[in-house]
Amino acid sequence: MLGKILGNRYEIIEELGGGGMAVVYKGHDKFLNRPVTIKILRPEFTVDKDFIARFQREAQAIARLSHPNIVSIYDVGQEDNIHYLVMEYVHGDNLKNIVKKEGPLPPERALRIVVQICKALQHAHENKIVHRDVKPHNILITYGGWAKLTDFGMAREITAATLTYTDTIMGSVHYLSPEQARGQAVGPKSDLYSLGVVLYEMLTGVVPYQGDSPIAIAIKHIQEHPEMPSRLNPGIPPRLEKVILKAMNKEPALRFATAAEMSQSLQAALKKEENEDAGSAEGGFSPGDDFEEEEIQAGAGKKRRLRPLGWVILGLLLVAFLAGGAYLLNKYYFSVPEIQVPDVTRKSLAEATGILTGLGLRVAVEKDYDAQVPEGYVIRQDIGPEDPKVKPPRQVTLTVSLGPDLREVPDLYQLSVPDARIRLAEAGLQMAERYQEDYHDKVPRGYIFHQEPKAHSMQPRGTAVTVYVSKGPRPAEARVPDLLGLNIEQARARLNEKKLQLDDQISWAESTQYLSGQVISQEPAAGTPVQEGATVKVVVSKGPGPLPREVEVTVNVPRDGKDHQIRINVTDVQGSRDAYIKTHPPGDRFTETIKCYGKTTVRVYRDNDLIQTRTFEG
């Protein structure tokens, strides 16, 4: 593909990378003599109408947008079987690579980037476009620090017909909003959730949810809360942390209303932190800052300047005012001793409020669910004994328990394990690490037939539900046949007759009783009751086996005037066989020599009637 010219204009220079759908190249616009980015749909997707539509949708989406923080599209075309987009070339790197190389970014730098992406999203949302794949890989940072949002291949117009997609979870799972993970309605607030995850990663160096599989990570987006960013990076200001957590709220209604609102909150949070760090004080002023010589109008329209005595009086009043203010400030603030905020967790709200207000502190209340702390009792406080002392009337925020967050357990009967896991996650519950298996006559193999706790019971959020998975109907019982002396194929055929299986792990051992290739022992033993489908292990002889020997058998034919058929049957380690069959006249007597191996049983039949049995030990 390198060196190819598309549209008689765009030369492909080098490959920059690509995703599952397209390959991205750096190109040169020969017409305007400028670098461009060329995105080409992978050849395997050019026969798929859905992929072509998605590819074209990206061009349409970007074409409707015009914003300095969104990568511009220059051209779209098709040449032979090549579908391509020509876009603005950004001199820089994507945000994912920057975070990998540099680790957590300073809050000021991170906010500058996110505020720009907020502006890009606000523009897209105002034009009824939801990006749906906001992630650091799709945020390009120029060498001058300018941020640009790219890759609108997942974008959708905000209409009732296109807000859900349950066929598959597209995009990067680490940045999916909970509603995307559930396959529910996706709107502008889903982009804000993803941007909140991006900001979390920029400030901590890690994504909030990790897992062994995409579905495990998606479930965490639905039911788990991320670790507080400040625990991973203590340098994150508290107000900025609140903005991140609000953007990542699992309930879309509790996130920011718009990208513009999120941008304003980010900037306000940073300004407040900067002001506090600088020790700025509001309301102060210097004498004479806002005073000029005042002209006072007298009765007939004459104007007079303030006389010197007036200036003296005014100066005295000002000095008295400042002195009084300083006195009050010193009395009611600077002279107030610092106090250590006591621990009021696990106390009732009334008791905790009484303790804190009794120390001159103000109390603010937030509420949250907690399975361990009873309703109405304090779960945590933002300032406590481990923090530095504070001056009254400092505000202390108490988080008060709403009690356990009870969720209704869904009915998992006849669901597969993956489907049940998702159903539980949607309900705020989880599946126990190990599930039980047993036979069930009515539920097909691999599907759930029982659960604990029961369906429709109310359980605390996060409760682990144990499921019981069917192994199918219970097999019928069979008895293990005798395999001794059989070769491997004979043993396998004999077991198949009983709907049993021969274990593939066959052992070999020396034997003087059985010939090479014959079964010399088995497990389970012959006659043992087992379930159909069970396996039987065997040990097979590798020789040398018993030595051959000869035995003599003498037979007397009765004198009754009739001919008789004499048959001699031999059973030894080689199996059972007829060694002699012949018709003899009445009164005949003969001796036959029989060749055999090991322990041998000889049976003599006259006209198929058993007349003699002899056993020779091996």
Residues 105 and 237 in one domain: yes
Stretch 188-206: mean pLDDT, rounded?
Answer: 97
Residue 335 confidence class, pLDDT cut points 50, 70, 90: low
The stretch 176-202 carries a mean pLDDT of 92
Winning range, highest mean pLDDT, from 292-306, 330-344, 450-464: 450-464
Reported residue count of the chain is 618
For the chain, the C-alpha Rg in angstroms (whole number) is 44
Contact by Cβ (8 Å): 136, 87: no
pLDDT at position 333 over 70: no
* 278 or 136, higher pLDDT: 136
Domain count across the chain: 6
DSSP-derived letter for residue 26 is E
CATH number at residue 607: 2.60.40.2560
Q: Is there a contact between 41 and 9 (Cβ–Cβ < 8 Å)?
A: no
Tell me if 117 is assigned to some domain.
yes
Read off the amino acid at residue 434: R
For 174, the 3-state DSSP assignment is helix
129 with 261, same domain? yes
Give the β-pairing of 464-470 and 430-431. Answer: parallel
What's the pLDDT score for residue 306?
47
CA-nearest of 495, 516, 514, 515 to 504 is 495
Are 205 and 100 in contact, with CB atoms under 8 Å apart? no
How far is 241 from 116, CA to CA, in rounded Å? 19
Which residue, of 252, 277, 302, is where some domain finishes?
Answer: 277
Q: Does some domain include residue 256? A: yes
Q: Same structural domain for residues 22 and 124?
A: no
CA 202-207-208 angle, to 5 degrees, is 115
**Residue 410's CB: how many other CB atoms inside 10 A?**
17
Specify the pairing of strand 464-470 against strand 519-523: unpaired
The closest of 133, 138, 171, 137 to 155, measured between CA atoms, is: 133
Cα–Cα distance measured from residue 68 to residue 64, given in angstroms and rounded to the nearest whole number? 13
* Biggest CA-to-CA distance, the chain: 177
* Residue 307: pLDDT band with limits 50, 70, 90: low
Q: Which pLDDT score is estimated for 286?
A: 31
Distance of CA 440 to the CA centre of its chain: 31
pLDDT-wise least confident of 51-60, 235-244, 270-279, 534-543: 270-279
Domain co-membership, 381 together with 273: no
pLDDT of residue 47: 76
Residue 222 lies in a domain: yes
Q: Which domain holds residue 459?
A: 406-470
Phi, psi of 302 (to 5 degrees): -70, 150
37-82 residue pLDDT tens: 999 988 877 777 777 777 777 677 777 788 999 998 888 888 888 9
**Parallel/antiparallel/unpaired status of strands 34-41 and 436-438:** unpaired
Using alpha carbons only, give the angle 118, 147, 2 rounded to the nearest 5 degrees. 130
Residue 313 falls inside a structural domain: no
Q: Which long-range contacts (CB under 8 A, 24 or more apart) does 505-510 make?
A: 505/537, 506/537, 506/538, 506/539, 506/540, 507/537, 507/538, 507/539, 507/540, 508/539, 508/540, 508/541, 508/542, 509/539, 509/540, 509/541, 509/542, 510/541, 510/542, 510/543, 510/544
Whole-model pTM: value is 0.49
The predicted-structure confidence for 161-174, as pLDDT tens digits, reads as follows 333 333 334 347 89
Cβ contact 424:456 at 8 Å:
no
Instruction: Identify the band that residue 296 occupies on the pLDDT scale cut at 50, 70 and 90.
Output: very low
- Cα 242 off chain centre by: 25
163: tokens are 């807000």
Q: Are residues 237 and 116 in the same domain?
A: yes
Q: From 38, 63, 89, give the residue that closes a domain.
A: 89
Label each residue of 315-348 as H, E or C.
HHHHHHHHHHHHHHHHHHHHCCCCECCCCCCCCE
Contacts of 582 (CB under 8 A, 6+ apart): 565, 566
**Cα dihedral 64→68→69→71 (10° resolution):** 60
In a domain, 322, yes or no: no
Tell me: pLDDT of 362 over 90.
yes
- Is residue 9 packed enough to be buried (19+ CB in 10 Å), middle (13-18) or exposed (0-12)? middle
Q: Are 259 and 127 in contact (CB under 8 A)?
A: no
Does 168 lie in the same domain as 151?
A: yes
Q: What is the dihedral of CA 603, 607, 611, 616, to 10 degrees?
A: -10
Annotated catalytic residue within 29, 133, 151, 572: 133
**In whole angstroms, what is the distance from residue 91 CA to residue 267 CA?**
27
* Chain position carrying tokens 């400092």: 394
* CA-to-CA dists, residue 220 to 211, 258, 355, angstroms: 8, 25, 38
504 and 372 inside one domain:
no
CA atoms lying within 13 Å on the CB side of residue 102? 15
Q: Burial of 266 by CB count in 10 Å (0-12 exposed, 13-18 middle, 19+ buried)?
A: buried
Q: Which amino acid is at 133?
A: D
| Pairwise CA distance, residues 613 & 442, whole Å | 54
Whether residue 544 has a cis bond before it, omega within 30° of 0: yes
Do 540 and 555 fall into the same domain?
Answer: no
Inside any domain, residue 594? yes
Tokens of 504: 């593939």
With respect to residue 297, please indicate whether it lies within any of the assigned structural domains: no
Does 321 reside within a domain? no
Decide if 133 is catalytic.
yes
Are 97 and 63 part of one and the same domain? no
Q: In this structure, are 101 and 238 located in the same domain? A: yes
**Are residue 85 and residue 96 in the same domain, yes or no?**
no
Q: What is the DSSP string of 441-465?
A: SSSPTTBEEEEESPTT-EEETTPEE
pLDDT confidence of residue 426: 83
Same domain, yes or no: 540 and 554: no
> What's the CATH number where 454 sits?
3.30.10.20
Q: List residues bridging with 580 in a β-sheet.
A: 568
How many angstroms separate the CA atoms of 180 and 25, rounded? 30
